[in-house]
Amino acid sequence: MTKHYPVCHKEDIPENGSKGFSIEARSGEIDFFVVRKNNRYFAYVNSCPHTNINLEWVADQFLDMNHELIQCSLHGAKFMIEDGLCISGPCLGKKLKSLDIRIEDDYLQLFTDY
């Protein structure tokens, strides 16, 4: 059964920015992050498909220097913001695990079966 969890106000994430979160779901803690690009929001589990470590090197810093790609802090793997596909690095062709994020009354809500 899908359950939803409040995340934050949509304006808490700047345009071309990212922010990490952790929620306690039914199956345990979920670490994830949200990226805002072109006023759209994309959410992914905070885990590199290459080594299963957290992606950021500094809190809320999930993007490369140009704010165009998601970048892993360990080996520099780069992922498309829109679909999580790795386009460079040791996990080339793999994807980040996407999450269902929606806006309801100006607040981001995470919908999950976890």
Q: What is the pLDDT of residues 47-98, one digit of tens each?
A: 999 999 999 989 999 999 999 999 999 999 999 999 999 999 999 999 999 9
CA dist 111 → 15, 25, 52 (Å): 22, 10, 22
Q: Are 49 and 95 in contact, with CB atoms under 8 Å apart? A: yes
Instruction: Assign residue 25 the CATH number of its domain.
Output: 2.102.10.10
State how many domains the chain has: 1
Sign of CA dihedral 10, 45, 59, 80: negative
Q: What mean pLDDT do residues 28-37 have?
A: 96
Residue 95, domain extent: 3-112
